[in-house]
Chains A and B, each alone.
Chain A
Amino acid sequence: MAPGEKKSQQPRKRFYRARAHSNPLSDSHFPVPISPAHIDWSLHFPAFFKSPLEAESEKIDLMHKESTSDLEVNDKEFSRDCCSEECVSKDPSLNHEADFMENVSVKNPSEVANVQRGQPKVSFADIGCGFGGLLVKLSPMFPDTLMVGMELRDKVSEYVKDRIMALRKENPGQYQNISIIRTNAMKYLQNYFQKGQLQKMFFLFPDPHFKERNHRRRVISVALLAEYAHVMAVGGILYTITDVQDLGEWMKACLDAHPLFEEVSSQEQELDPVVTLLKRATEEGQKVERNSGDTFQSVYRRVASSSAGC
């Protein structure tokens, strides 16, 4: 590691200062994929996926297809995966450091699907992952499981991305299974994950939105639980923890009211290695512990619907 090589060093939080709260109801100006099929996961997990271009250049010797711009997408809403052709000629390791935060929608979803079929899909999602503490702890625990953090704040998600890059460089072969997406999970979760895809979802120390008029901004609500239940597989587990008692009771009440979620018994919770991480893995959790605060956790399982169907 050459001296002064900034990318290999762990990022310093002071350079990523951001306000603590970001309005989840405001209109986004960051790009959002048209559908889960339009995502090229090789940009996030190069060790697990071949990009469609790598696969093609393996099959056909350096024959570049002329890409036609018949994309029916309004440019202003979504950014194009415009640099993938140019990137092939560059150093492949740099290719994947290409900003996967910007290029979110591929032009050729069926091609991507052909190449990436049969590969594992993302199965853990940390909603509001903050500075990435949980992802970093979970990665070595489940090395073959792909996990993604979703964070709304731009600076914080940049920090997580730089952190993951640095960890991958410093620990060859490790941390290849975690990645970060800058997005509004409340609005766009369905654009990233297919029905029944996730095995675990994490909501650690979500924003309490104390005022009653702001309760609709809370990330756990009965209405949104329908969306979370949709992207979770039956038997998948949803973890939430908070240090705010009112919010803890609210989340438990929402989960109890929703027919597709069932509480996981405390015996089962004790046996789950992930539960022990809830309190201490994240920066927020460590802060609560430093201040000797109480925490309120709810762990629920996604159950099958009683009517015919999922």
Chain B
Amino acid sequence: MKGKCQVDVKYPSAQSRHEEAIRTITFSGEGKLFVSAGDDKHVKLWDTETWQCTKTVHASKKVSATAFSCDSKWLLYADKFGVVYAMSTKLQGEGLASSVVLDQPVNLLAHCCSIITSLKCTADGKFIVTADRDFKIRVSVFPKDPLQGAHEIEGFCLGHTSFVSCIACIDVGLKSQLLVSGGGDGTVRLWEIETATLLDTVDVRDEVGIADGNFESDAVIQASAITCVCVSCDGSLIAVGVESLDGVLFLKCDLKSKRLMLLQKLVLAEHFCPTSMQFDKNGWLWLVAGAAQKTDSCKENAVTWVKVVSSSLDDTPVFTPVELESIPGGSLLFETLDGTDSDVNKAFALAEAATIAMKNELSKRQYSNEHREFRKRLRNDKKLQRKV
């Protein structure tokens, strides 16, 4: 849920600023709290009324995902080694607990040495869902006391054949909560969380076919990773970002039959491959593409694009981009969000580089047998073998 009015984020002191790339941001359920974390290993908790940074946690590894518990009492964050930590969101003075307890993160659970790409808590407070690069989605029971750890696993959603890049919970008060996941294998899958069963799979590779129609080529297979999924507020629509698609795919989620259907492929603009998207309360979809430049100066120097898409109010909605003028705040908002450099090609090149870097991190490196033997050449037992 993005705020609609423009707000300046206040940095009370130099220490509050993130120094390196921010990898993950999340709002709490009510929108009162906000967390940002990333490569500088700092997890920052913000109050959304005052936009002050209320807590900063120094994590031991780079953080890859964050989430709030459904009651907003706990902040969860996951690092690139597969460990998920929990920390209380309470501030000092709000209870009898000492600051040590309040500000000390505890180990909640861990995936065995695998980058955690996404972390979500179900809205009914029952489960924590974590996705990693080893093709797995783990559903763990949300513990009564998170400080003791989450030791009980409910199930594993197994089916993806490549890294799982993003997950989103569908929580519309259903008896059994559903989960949508997107992966590097180009599929979007629908799961029932409690039983960890696969309900439906949509392969988007056909939709993102390259003009020459050669679906077997490596380029098509590789350039079809799902970058992001998000669910509309009523749970009936799913927006999907695909690596090489200059726009967004819409899927319809039929909650009764528990199936996914392709609704629309919306091409927005050349080189606009969204890396992040979110539905707002009005049903508009906000998309962000581009990449942030690393900068030493204090000014924001991001090369990003923002677009908004709205739907017609039908049973089978049709999506169209929203003109600047219809958005509250309008062009001023976009000027600030888009940053100073509006060079399309530069944005695209940066974004591509960022996506490739992410994929290299998440995909298993495939070596030929000869290359693998070559890499082992300095190993002592290999040296002995050669001597013999």
User: Which A positions have Cβ atoms within 8 angstroms of B?
Assistant: 18-19, 25, 27-29, 34-36, 72-74, 76-78, 186-188, 190-191, 195, 216, 222-227, 229-230, 258-260, 305, 307, 309-310
Report the tally of A-B residue pairs with Cβ distances under 8 A. 91
Please give, as numbers and ranges, the residues of chain B lying within 8 Å of A188 by CB-CB distance: 134
Is residue B346 within 8 Å, beta carbon to beta carbon, of the partner chain?
no
A259 contacts B151, C-beta separation under 8 Å: yes
User: Which B positions have Cβ atoms within 8 angstroms of A?
Assistant: 81, 83, 107, 109-110, 112-114, 134-136, 140-141, 144, 148-156, 158-159, 161-162, 185, 187, 201, 203, 221, 364-367, 372, 379-381
Please give, as numbers and ranges, the residues of chain B lying within 8 Å of A34 by CB-CB distance: 135, 158-159, 161
Q: Can you show 28 pairs from A to B with CB atoms below 8 A apart?
A: A18-B381, A28-B364, A29-B366, A35-B158, A36-B158, A72-B185, A72-B187, A72-B203, A73-B185, A74-B185, A74-B221, A77-B162, A187-B113, A190-B156, A191-B158, A195-B155, A222-B149, A223-B112, A224-B110, A225-B151, A226-B152, A227-B112, A227-B153, A229-B152, A230-B153, A259-B152, A260-B152, A307-B141
Please give, as numbers and ranges, the residues of chain A lying within 8 Å of B135 by CB-CB distance: 34, 77
B114 contacts A187, C-beta separation under 8 Å: yes
Given A74-B221, A187-B134, A309:B158 Cβ within 8 A: no
Smallest CB separation, A281 vs chain B (Å): 27
A307 contacts B144, C-beta separation under 8 Å: yes
Of the candidates A18, A258, A310, the one having the most CB atoms from chain B within 10 angstroms of its own CB is: A310
Smallest CB separation, B41 vs chain A (Å): 17
Q: How far is the CA of A225 from the CA of B149 in the complex (A)?
A: 12
Smallest CB separation, B54 vs chain A (Å): 29
Q: How far is the CA of A223 from the CA of B152 in the complex (A)?
A: 10
Q: How far is the CA of A310 from the CA of B153 in the complex (A)?
A: 9
Smallest CB separation, A36 vs chain B (Å): 8
Please give, as numbers and ranges, the residues of chain B lying within 8 Å of A73 by CB-CB distance: 161, 185
A229 contacts B151, C-beta separation under 8 Å: yes
Please give, as numbers and ranges, the residues of chain B lying within 8 Å of A36 by CB-CB distance: 158
Contact of A216 (CB < 8 Å), options: B113, B134, B185: B113
**Chain B minimum-CB-distance residue to A78:** B161
Please give, as numbers and ranges, the residues of chain B lying within 8 Å of A77 by CB-CB distance: 135, 161-162, 364
A258 contacts B151, C-beta separation under 8 Å: yes
B112 contacts A186, C-beta separation under 8 Å: yes
Smallest CB separation, A310 vs chain B (Å): 7
Smallest CB separation, B239 vs chain A (Å): 22
Please give, as numbers and ranges, the residues of chain A lying within 8 Å of B366 by CB-CB distance: 29, 76
B161 contacts A72, C-beta separation under 8 Å: yes
**Chain A minimum-CB-distance residue to B365:** A27
Smallest CB separation, B270 vs chain A (Å): 29
Of the candidates B114, B141, B156, B185, the one having the most CB atoms from chain A within 10 angstroms of its own CB is: B156
A223 contacts B109, C-beta separation under 8 Å: yes
A72 contacts B201, C-beta separation under 8 Å: yes
Please give, as numbers and ranges, the residues of chain B lying within 8 Å of A226 by CB-CB distance: 109, 140, 150-153
**Chain B minimum-CB-distance residue to A195:** B155
Contact of A223 (CB < 8 Å), options: B107, B154, B367, B379: B107
Please give, as numbers and ranges, the residues of chain B lying within 8 Å of A78 by CB-CB distance: 161
Please give, as numbers and ranges, the residues of chain A lying within 8 Å of B203 by CB-CB distance: 72
Q: How far is the CA of A259 from the CA of B109 in the complex (A)?
A: 13
**Chain A minimum-CB-distance residue to B156:** A190
